[in-house]
Amino acid sequence: MPNPGWFKNRLQDPFFRRAHRENYRSRAVYKLQEIQEKYQLIRSGNRILDLGAAPGSWTQYAVAQAGRTGKVIGIDLLPIQPLEGATLLEGDINDPVMQEQIQAFAPKGFDLIMSDMAPNTTGVHHADAGNSVELVHVALDLSKIWLKNGGHFVAKVFEGTDFRELHERFKKLFGFAKSFKPKASLAASRETYLVGKEFRASKL
């Protein structure tokens, strides 16, 4: 049974209350909104891939930003409730069959790849951070297949001992590369977001 204090803390969180009021599936949407307002990653008509999409708030936001001419696909190991305007897949992004489905969705490549993937946390910071870094490396590897040259990328990562190496790789792949912590991130969280623009496919 969940700790009653958890519910109290959630109700005191202004981003949680706002998400409920504005019909978003989670407070994480405001992290993406702040990133979008600052870096303008999404444009009308974009093809967008959302990795680790459950419960779907990033996908919701991307659908609204990309508009009727855009296409958004979300994938997660967990089921995602249907969302108007989006294609949702349940499965592993490392599965070749799943990769074929994703490739068919945007045969000319995606304009933006987003990843809010996170590992199953253990409570051991260095282990959780290392696993988080590995997930971002996977997303970058898949960018070779799926991201357009000149496309954009954003991914969550937990900072730890492996972060510097990841960041160096990241900077080589994009003409513009920044790490950014949105205001909606919990103050105690070690998460940050890697924001990349102008993907350099030839560098992979």
Active site residues: 156
Name the residue with tokens 């994938």: 75
Q: How far apart are CA 141 and CA 155, in angstroms?
A: 13
Nearest to 49 by CA among 71, 79, 26: 71
Q: How far apart are CA 196 and CA 163, in angstroms?
A: 16
Q: How far apart are CA 8 and CA 172, in angstroms?
A: 44
Q: How far apart are CA 24 and CA 35, in angstroms?
A: 17
The count of other CB atoms within 10 Å of the CB of residue 153 is 26
Dihedral in degrees, nearest 10, Cα atoms 61, 62, 64, 68: -160
Q: Residue 197 has which token pair? A: 């623009």
The count of other CB atoms within 10 Å of the CB of residue 135 is 20
> Residue 151, SS3?
strand
